Amino acid sequence: MDKHINKIGVQSTEVNSESIFFNPEVDSSDTVAVVSAGIVVVGTILTAFASFVNPGVVLISFGTLAPVLWPDPEEDPKKIWSQFMKHGEDLLNQTISTAVKEIALAHLNGFKDVLTYYERAFNDWKRNPSANTARLVSQRFENAHFNFVSNMPQLQLPTYDTLLLSCYTEAANLHLNLLHQGVQFADQWNADQPHSPMLKSSGTYYDELLVYIEKYINYCTKTYHKGLNHLKESEKITWDAYNTYRREMTLIVLDLVATFPFYDIRRFPRGVELELTREVYTSLDPPGLNAGPIPEIDFSYLEDHLTRPPGLFTWLSDIELYTESVAEGDYLSGIRESKYYTGNQFFTMKNIYGNTNRLSKQLITLLPGEFITHLSINRGFQTIAGINKLYSLIQKIVFTTFKNDNEYQKNFNVNNQNEPQETTNYPNDYGGSNSQKFKHNLSHFPLIIHKLEFAEYFHSIFALGWTHNSVNSQNLISESVSTQIPLVKAYEVTNNSVIRGPGFTGGDLIELRDKCSIKCKASSLKKYAISLFYAANNAIAVSIDVGDSGAGVLLQPTFSRKGNNNFTIQDLNYKDFQYHTLLVDIELPESEEIHIHLKREDDYEEGVILLIDKLEFKPIDENYTNEMNLEKAKKAVNVLFINATNALKMDVTDYHIDQVANLVECISDDLYAKEKIKLLHAIKFAKQLSQARNLLSDPNFNNLNAENSWTANTGVTIIEGDPLYKGRAIQLSAARDENFPTYLYQKIDESLLKPYTRYQLRGFVEGSQDLELDLVRYGATDIVMNVPGDLEILSYSAPINPCEEIETRLDTTCGALDRCKQSNYVNSAADVRPDQVNGDPHAFSFHIDTGTTDNNRNLGIWIIFKIATPDGYATFGNLELIELGPLSGEALAQVQRKEQKWGKNTTQKREEAAKLYAAAKQTINQLFADSQGTKLRFDTEFSNILSADKLVYKIRDVYSEVLSVIPGLNYDLFMELENRIQNAIDLYDARNTVTNGEFRNGLANWMASSNTEVRQIQDTSVLVLSSWNAQVAQSLNVKPNHGYVLRVTAKKEGIGNGYVTILDCANHIDTLTFSSCDSDSNTSSNELAAYVTKTLEIFPDTDQIRIEIGETEGTFYVESVDLIQMED
C-alpha cells in the first residue's frame, strides 16, 4: 500500500469515459500550436546544421521558418506569437498586460517585415551580383540587424521576462540566423561595391555573432530557471504543473538554445550533427489525479519515483509487464525495464516498478536499433463512490516501434471481464508531420501502484520518459560534417560523476573525477580532429586514449569559481565552457567500434571541477583543411591585437608573430586570395609593431660584429632556412674550455632606457645544452638553459646555390621552404595563447629592472649569451627586449634596494681602484723624463717597466665577471695606465739598439745554440744558459765614433762566470762579467728578481758590432740586454 496517499473510503460504481492524451510534447489542446511550432523549429535547425556542407549556401532561409512562426499571414499574422504569450501565462498562472502584449507583438511582426525585405534583396543579389544589388542587400541586412538589436530588449521586460521567454527565444534564433548569413556574405557584398564607404566586414559581423550567441544563451537559460524556481517555490504547486513547465519550456526554449552555439560559422564552417540527450516526461496519468476527491500525492515522492536522476544515457532493450487479478479483471501490476548504455547492449540494467511477483508476465523485446515511438494504453475502470470516472487499471498496451524506416506493433493484453473504456495515445502525431526527425523514443516507463484504504481498489500512476530522436544509438561519426557526441553516452563512468546540465548543453554532463569510457564508430576511413567541450576551475591533466592512439592534455581553467556548497551548475555561463582540440589528428577505421578512454591524471579534490559536455569529431579533408587554415589564421591574427585597436598585445612574442605568419601563408591562394592578402597586411603590420618596440640592435643578425650590432667570436654561426624560424637564427658551438667560451653579446644604451621600468628579454630556443644567459645592470642574473631538441621537424639545409639539387631536397621549391608541411609544432604554435610562453620549454622570457638612469654613466643593459663547456651548444632566435611598464610596489622597492647596494659596492671598488691607480701612476711617471711621456729616463730599465705594469694589474674589476672581453668598472683607469706602459715599452724598444733585447719574442733576432732557451720566470722572459758551450749572439749596426752604454740585467747561479761580450770589427773587446758573488755594493739591484744590472760605456770605431752571451759553467740568467746611444 502506498503510504503517501491520503486514505478515503470509497464504493464501487461503473462509469465510462474517453480522453485523449497527445504526446510528450503536447499535454493539452491549448498548447498544441506553440509546442508544435517550437519542435518544428528545432527539428528544422538540427536538419539544416547536419546538411550544411556548402559554405556558399544559406543555412536556413527565412522563408523556411516563416510558415512555422507566421502560419496565417493574411488572417492573423500575430496568431502564433499570441499563443506563445498565452502559453507562458498558463504555465506560470500570470497575466501579461494588454499594452505590453501589443508592443511585443508589434516588434515581432516588425522582425518579419525586415527579414522579408532582406531576403528579397538577398535573392536578387544571388541572381544578379552587382554593385546595386549588393548595396541594397547590405542596407537591408544592416537594417534588419539594427531592428533586432534595438527591439529585443522589449521582450525581456523584468516583470514579464518569464512569460515572454518563448517569444524571445524564437526571435533570438531568427537574429542569430541573420548574423550567420552576414558572416557568410558580407565580404562578398563589399567586394561587389568596392567604392561604398563604411561597410561592415564579415569579421565585424562575426564578432557581433559571438556576442549575441553568448548573450542569448545566458539570458534564455537563466530566465528558464527563474520560471522553474518560481513554480517550485509557489504554494500548493502540483508536480504536474511543475513538470509541464519543465517539459514544454525544454521543448520550446532549451532545445532551441542548445543549437545556438553552432551558429558560429567559423568554428563550424561545414555543419554539425547534434544530439539532444535530455529526457522529458509526460503529464501525470491519469489526468487530474490531484483534482477532486482523489487525494493529492506528495510532490517530492512523485519527482523521485517518476523521473530519473542524472546518469549515463540509456536505451530500452525489453520491457517485462506483470499482471494481477481483481474483481474487475486482470491489470498491469508491475514493470521490469531492461536498459543498456550506448554501445554496450550485452550488459543490461534492470529497473523494477510495482509488483512483479504476480500471476503472469509478457515480454516486449526491442532489437538493436528498434525504438518505441508510440504507445496506446487502454484502462479499465472502477466505480468508486463520489467519483464519476476513474480509469485506474491498465489492461492493454499497444507498442508501436520503429526500425529501419519501418513501423511494427507489439501488444500487451490481460484477461479482463469488461472491455477497456479509455484509450490514451502516447504520442499522437501533431501538426500533420510524420517525419521521424520530430519524434521521440520511449526511454522510461515508471509505474506506481497503490491501493485505496477501505476497498479493494488499485490505482496505476505513471509519467512516461522520452528522449529525442536525434540521439544516435551507435555514436556514429559523420564523414562530411562535424559530429558532437555527448559524453553522457559513455558506457562506463566511475565515482558517480554524472550531473544535471546547465540547460544550454542539451543534456547532462560528466564531472570527470576519475575515468570515463565511450564507444564510437566512424562511417568511413578518415582522419578526424578531436576536441573536448569542457569547463574547469583549475588546470587539470587528462589522458585520452583513442583506440591505439593516446595523448595527454592539460586543460586550462575556464572559470574561477570554486565548487563549494553554494555552487550550482546553474551558476555557469556559456563562456565558462571552451573547446580544447588535440594537437594530433587521429585516423579512425571504417565501421569499427573505437573505444575512447578519458582519465583524470590528478587526484580528485573536492571543489576542483572538470565538466565535460561533448566530444567533437571534425573530418579532415582538403576542403576542411583549407577552411580550417583560413579560420585558424584569422583567429590567430585577431588575437595579436588589443581589441578594436592597432596596438599589439604585450604578451605576443616575435616568434609567435612569425608562426602566425606561417599560418597565413598556408591559406589557399586559389580559394581565399582576398582573405589571404588582408591577413598578410595585418601580420606584416604586427611584425612592424614588434620590431618597433624591440630595443635590441640587429635582432635579425644581419651584421655581426658591426657597429651597433651583436659582438660574437668565431664559434657563432648565423643560420637560415631552419623550419622553426621564419628569419635568421643564431647557433653557438661548443667552447674549447671555460677560459675560451663561445659568446654573443650586446649592450643596450642608457639613452634607450627609462627609469624605474621593467624590461623583458624573450626568444625561442630550438635546443641547447649549457647555454648561459646573463642580463647585467646591477650585477649579473646568471641563467642556464638546457632545452631538449625534441621538436619533430623535417631536416633541411639551404644549399649555397638555392636552385641546385632541387630534386633531392624535401618540401622546397628552388630554395623556398614549405612551412605548412614542416612540423606539427610550427603549425600548432599559433594555437598556444601568447600568455603561455613560460609554459613552453622552448620559449623563454626573463625580466630586468632599471632604477635611476644616467646617460653620462651609461650603465645600460648587457645581454650576454655564452657556451663555456666542451659539450655545450645552442640554437635560438627571435630575440627581443621590450618595455613592460613602470615599476610599482614591491618591484619598485626591490630595485631601489638593489641599486643602493650596487652603488655602495661600486663606490667602494672605485675607492680601492683609485688608490691603486695613484700608486701605479706615480711609478709610471718615474719611468719618463718628461710629463708628456715622450722620453724615458736614461736609468729606466725594462724591469722598472715590468714592475710598474704589475702595479697596474693590481687594479680589479677591469673586465666583466661574466665575460672577460667586456669592459668592467675600472676599465678606463686600467687602459689609461696600460697605454702609458705600452708607450714606455715602445720608447724602450726604440732607444735599444739591440733587437728583442728583453727576449719577449723568445730567441728571435738572436743566433743561438741548441742548448739555450727562454723561460717565463715571474711573468718575465729570461734567457737561460746552463752549459759552458751554450752561446747566444747578435750583430748590430751602430754609428761609429758615437758613445753607447751597454746595460745588462742578469743573474749567475753556481760556480763559474757568466759574461756578455761586445766587440767591433777593429777587434776592440769589452766584457761584463757576472758571478754568484755579485753583490749590490757596486751594482744597482733589481729587488723583485734578485738580478743585478751592470753597465759598460763603449765607443765603437766601426759601424758594426757583435754582442755575445755565454758562461763558463753553472747557470746564467739574462733578463735584458740594452745598448743605448749616448745623448749629445
Residue 209, domain CATH: 1.20.190.10
Residue 54: what are its φ and ψ, rounded to 5°? -115, 110
Q: Where are the beta strands (DSSP E) in 890-1031?
A: 1007-1008, 1012-1017, 1020-1025
416 confidence band (pLDDT: 50, 70, 90): low
Considering the domain architecture, whether residues 522 and 573 belong to the same structural domain is answered as: yes
- Asked if pLDDT for residue 592 goes beyond 80, the answer is yes
Considering the domain boundaries, does residue 545 fall inside one? yes
Considering the domain boundaries, does residue 704 fall inside one? no
Considering the domain boundaries, does residue 831 fall inside one? no
Give which of 680, 786, 788, 662 is closest to 725, Cα–Cα: 662
The CA distance from 217 to 573, in Å, is: 8
* Range 443-448 average pLDDT: 92
More confident residue, 139 or 480: 139
Considering the domain architecture, whether residues 1084 and 1115 belong to the same structural domain is answered as: yes
Amino acid sitting at position 591:
S
Considering the domain architecture, whether residues 40 and 102 belong to the same structural domain is answered as: yes
Strands 816-817 and 812-813: antiparallel
The DSSP line for 83-138 is HHHHHHHHHHT----HHHHHHHHHHHHHHHHHHHHHHHHHHHHHHS-SHHHHHHHH
Q: Where are the beta strands (DSSP E) in 267-414?
A: 272-273, 279-281, 314-326, 329-341, 348-354, 360-365, 371-384, 387-403, 406-413
CB 397 within 8 A of CB 348: no
26 confidence band (pLDDT: 50, 70, 90): very low
The CA distance from 288 to 391, in Å, is: 11
Amino acid sitting at position 258:
A
The DSSP line for 354-385 is E--SSSEEEEEE--TT-EEEEEEEEEEEEEET
Give which of 625, 686, 626 is closest to 659, Cα–Cα: 686
- Asked if pLDDT for residue 147 goes beyond 50, the answer is yes
The CA distance from 465 to 486, in Å, is: 19
- Asked if pLDDT for residue 1060 goes beyond 90, the answer is yes
pLDDT at 29: 54
496 confidence band (pLDDT: 50, 70, 90): confident
Local structure of 870: helix, strand or coil: coil
CB 337 within 8 A of CB 444: yes
CB 733 within 8 A of CB 742: yes
The CA distance from 1115 to 1075, in Å, is: 10
- Asked if pLDDT for residue 1061 goes beyond 60, the answer is yes
* Range 544-557 average pLDDT: 88
CB 219 within 8 A of CB 173: no
Mean pLDDT, the chain, rounded, equals 85
Considering the domain architecture, whether residues 75 and 159 belong to the same structural domain is answered as: yes
Three cell numbers written together for 14: 461503473
Considering the domain boundaries, does residue 736 fall inside one? no
Name 1098's bridge partners: 1044
Amino acid sitting at position 214:
E
Q: Could you tell me the CA-to-CA distances from 394 to 329, 420, 447, 1094, 1119 in Å, in that order? A: 10, 9, 11, 138, 127
pLDDT at 438: 53
- State which of 569, 590, 620 marks the end of a domain: 620
End-to-end Cα, the chain, rounded Å: 143
More confident residue, 21 or 1023: 1023
- Asked if pLDDT for residue 3 goes beyond 50, the answer is no
Number of Cβ atoms within 10 Å of the Cβ of 359 = 12
The CA distance from 107 to 154, in Å, is: 8
The DSSP line for 425-481 is EEPPP-TT---GGG-EEEEE---EEEE-TTSS-EEEEB--EEEETT--TT-EEPSSS
860 confidence band (pLDDT: 50, 70, 90): very high
Residues 704-742 as b/e (b if ≥16 CB within 10 A, e otherwise) read beeeebbbbbebbebbebbbbbbbbbbbbebbeeeeebb
Residues 147-161 as b/e (b if ≥16 CB within 10 A, e otherwise) read bbeebbebbbeeebb
The CA distance from 603 to 12, in Å, is: 63
Question: H-helix or E-strand containing 551?
Answer: strand 549-555
Span 988-1041, pLDDT tens digits: 998 899 999 999 999 999 999 989 999 998 888 999 999 999 999 999 999 988
* Range 168-187 average pLDDT: 96
Give which of 747, 718, 745 is closest to 733, Cα–Cα: 718
Question: H-helix or E-strand containing 776?
Answer: strand 771-777
CB 1045 within 8 A of CB 1096: yes
Q: With pLDDT > 90 as the criterion, what percentage of the chain qualifies?
A: 57
CB 281 within 8 A of CB 243: yes
* Range 563-569 average pLDDT: 69
Give which of 276, 336, 345 is closest to 314, Cα–Cα: 345
pLDDT at 16: 24
Residue 650: what are its φ and ψ, rounded to 5°? -65, -35
Most confident of 42-51, 321-330, 939-948: 42-51
pLDDT at 421: 58
- Asked if pLDDT for residue 924 goes beyond 80, the answer is yes
* Range 108-125 average pLDDT: 96
Considering the domain architecture, whether residues 461 and 485 belong to the same structural domain is answered as: no
* Range 663-692 average pLDDT: 89
DSSP code for 308: P
Considering the domain boundaries, does residue 1049 fall inside one? yes
* Range 507-520 average pLDDT: 95
- Asked if pLDDT for residue 703 goes beyond 60, the answer is yes
Three cell numbers written together for 245: 513547465
Three cell numbers written together for 1078: 755579485
More confident residue, 368 or 694: 694
- Asked if pLDDT for residue 9 goes beyond 90, the answer is no
Considering the domain architecture, whether residues 397 and 524 belong to the same structural domain is answered as: no
The CA distance from 1106 to 1035, in Å, is: 4
Amino acid sitting at position 27:
D
pLDDT at 1062: 93
More confident residue, 425 or 852: 852
pLDDT at 564: 61
Considering the domain architecture, whether residues 513 and 448 belong to the same structural domain is answered as: no
pLDDT at 688: 94
Considering the domain architecture, whether residues 411 and 496 belong to the same structural domain is answered as: no
Considering the domain architecture, whether residues 412 and 360 belong to the same structural domain is answered as: yes
* Range 1037-1053 average pLDDT: 91
Considering the domain architecture, whether residues 88 and 198 belong to the same structural domain is answered as: yes
Strands 742-748 and 861-867: antiparallel
Considering the domain boundaries, does residue 762 fall inside one? no
Considering the domain architecture, whether residues 169 and 250 belong to the same structural domain is answered as: yes
Preceding omega of 427 cis (within 30 degrees of 0): yes
The CA distance from 997 to 1047, in Å, is: 10
Considering the domain boundaries, does residue 931 fall inside one? yes
Sign of the Cα pseudo-torsion (915, 921, 855, 967, in order): negative
Please state the domain count of the chain: 5
Considering the domain boundaries, does residue 836 fall inside one? no
The CA distance from 205 to 200, in Å, is: 7
CB 487 within 8 A of CB 613: yes
Could you tell me the CATH number of the domain that includes residue 1031?
Answer: 2.60.120.260
Q: With pLDDT > 70 as the criterion, what percentage of the chain qualifies?
A: 85
Helices 79-92 and 62-69, packing angle to 10 deg: 60
pTM of the model: 0.66
Most confident of 23-27, 131-135, 215-219, 395-399: 215-219
Give which of 74, 77, 2, 82 is closest to 34, Cα–Cα: 82
Span 813-851, pLDDT tens digits: 444 556 665 434 433 333 333 333 445 789 999 999 999
Considering the domain architecture, whether residues 480 and 596 belong to the same structural domain is answered as: yes
Three cell numbers written together for 480: 562530411
The CA distance from 137 to 124, in Å, is: 8
Where would I find the H helices in 1-97?
Answer: 32-50, 62-69, 79-92
Domain that holds residue 179: 28-272
Contacts of 940 (CB under 8 A, 6+ apart): 926, 927, 928, 984, 988
More confident residue, 76 or 20: 76
- State which of 470, 495, 529 marks the end of a domain: 470
pLDDT at 102: 95
- Asked if pLDDT for residue 772 goes beyond 50, the answer is yes
CB 1106 within 8 A of CB 1042: no
pLDDT at 630: 85
- State which of 470, 504, 523 marks the end of a domain: 470
More confident residue, 14 or 503: 503
pLDDT at 22: 38
565-569 long-range contacts, CB within 8 A, separation 24+: 569/499, 569/500, 569/501, 569/502, 569/509, 569/611
Name the one residue in this structure whose C-alpha cell is 672577460.
964
pLDDT at 235: 85
The CA distance from 935 to 937, in Å, is: 7
The CA distance from 957 to 954, in Å, is: 10
The CA distance from 717 to 703, in Å, is: 12
* Range 703-729 average pLDDT: 90
Span 1067-1113, pLDDT tens digits: 889 999 999 888 654 444 444 457 899 999 999 888 999 999 999 99
